[in-house]
């Protein structure tokens, strides 16, 4: 496995005066020196001109992977004008933070329900040697492996927490993001890529079951609301009976208490507004 190390290069600003000086001295020798020296001076000028092909620029958050006849010779990350052996090939690699957004994938969740899911992966290259030499195209590798990790994650969790599952895709965003980041990092580590963050950008039931699942969600919401209403109504009835007994406004036997409780529960738990009935006669 290839591992990144520093390339043998120097600052271009130091190389320029040296090359210019060699050219000037050689040109002077051509006019002033004997013929054998002129031949050597001509070779020096030719070599100095060839050295000009060794200059290259490196911008912020960029690197150059240097190779000599196919052999890796190091990576240069120093910003500015640089110079290295003119025979080195210099491949540019971006070290900036980049985003990859997957397309909407149609997969089955843990319960077998078809869902649509997509994610955003934030990544950057941290080892240029691995990125260039370990995979054929590291950008394409990031795309394919991220989608593969997303599919694997989607099949490992249910869409919703219907049966008291500890983690669901819709209800546990942070846990799902951490799992997906670890899954993607495991796959991309060999390509010299570091995954900074992952987030789901789209999550929905597939169209063919969306209507049925919406009814299930609505039914769950109704049941939960009814449960809350009943709890509140029981508390209100209990408080009403305690207040009546405390202030001794009415003395009710068990049968009358049962009737009052029944009427109050109907009033408090009913969907529609109740119609009051005024009793103009005696209580009994």
Strand, coil or helix: 140: helix
Q: What is the pLDDT of residue 119?
A: 93
Report, as an integer, the average pLDDT of 161-167: 69
* Structural contact between residues 99 and 146, judged by C-beta atoms closer than 8 angstroms: no
89-104 pLDDT, tens digit each: 999 999 999 999 988 8
CA distances from 125 to 130, 132, 212 (A): 9, 10, 44
Per 3-state DSSP, the chain is made up of helix, strand and coil in percentages (nearest 5) of 50, 20, 30
Q: How confident is the model at residue 160 (pLDDT cuts 50, 70, 90)?
A: confident
Distance CA 14, CA 17 (A): 6
Any idea which of 29-33, 87-91, 137-141, 205-209 has the lowest mean pLDDT?
29-33
Stretch among 47-51, 83-87, 198-202 having the lowest mean pLDDT: 47-51
Reply yes or no on whether the pLDDT at 238 is more than 80: no
The arithmetic mean of pLDDT across residues 168-177, rounded, is 86
pLDDT at 118 over 70: yes
Q: CA 25, CA 14: separation in Å to the nearest integer?
A: 17
Q: What is the pLDDT of residue 95?
A: 93
Query: What per-residue confidence (pLDDT) applies to 62?
Result: 93
Average pLDDT, the chain: 82
Asked whether the predicted pLDDT for residue 280 surpasses 60, the reply is no
Listed residue (92, 118, 124, 97) closest to 191, CA to CA: 124
Mean pLDDT of 108-114: 85
Sequence-ordered list of residues with C-beta below 8 angstroms from that of 103, at least 6 positions apart, any chain:
118, 147
């Amino acid at each position: 496995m290839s591992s990144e190390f520093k390339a043998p290069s120097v600052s271009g600003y130091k190389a320029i005066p040296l090359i210019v000086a060699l050219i000037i001295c050689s040109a002077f020798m051509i006019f002033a020196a004997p013929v054998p020296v002129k031949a050597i001076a001509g070779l020096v000028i030719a070599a100095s001109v060839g050295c000009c092909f060794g200059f290259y620029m490196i911008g912020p958050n960029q690197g150059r992977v240097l190779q000599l006849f196919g052999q890796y010779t190091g990576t240069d990350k120093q910003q500015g004008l640089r110079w290295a052996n003119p025979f080195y090939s210099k491949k540019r690699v971006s070290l900036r933070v980049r985003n990859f957004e997957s397309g909407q994938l149609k997969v089955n969740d843990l319960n077998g329900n078809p869902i649509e899911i997509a994610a955003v992966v934030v990544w950057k290259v941290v080892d240029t040697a691995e990125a260039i030499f370990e995979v054929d195209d590291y950008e394409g590798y990031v795309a394919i492996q991220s989608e593969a990790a997303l599919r694997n994650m989607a099949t490992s969790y249910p869409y919703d927490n219907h049966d008291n599952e500890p983690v669901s895709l819709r209800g546990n965003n942070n846990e799902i993001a951490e799992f997906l980041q670890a899954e993607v990092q495991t796959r991309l580590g060999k390509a010299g890529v570091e995954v900074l963050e992952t987030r789901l950008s789209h999550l929905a039931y597939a169209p063919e079951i969306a209507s049925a699942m919406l009814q299930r969600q609505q039914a769950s919401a109704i049941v939960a609301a009814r449960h809350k209403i009943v709890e509140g109504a029981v508390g209100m009835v209990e408080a009403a009976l305690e207040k009546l007994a405390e202030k001794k406004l009415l003395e009710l036997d068990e049968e009358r208490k049962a009737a009052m409780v029944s009427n109050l529960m109907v009033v408090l738990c009913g969907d529609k507004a109740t119609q009051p009935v005024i009793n103009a006669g005696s209580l009994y």
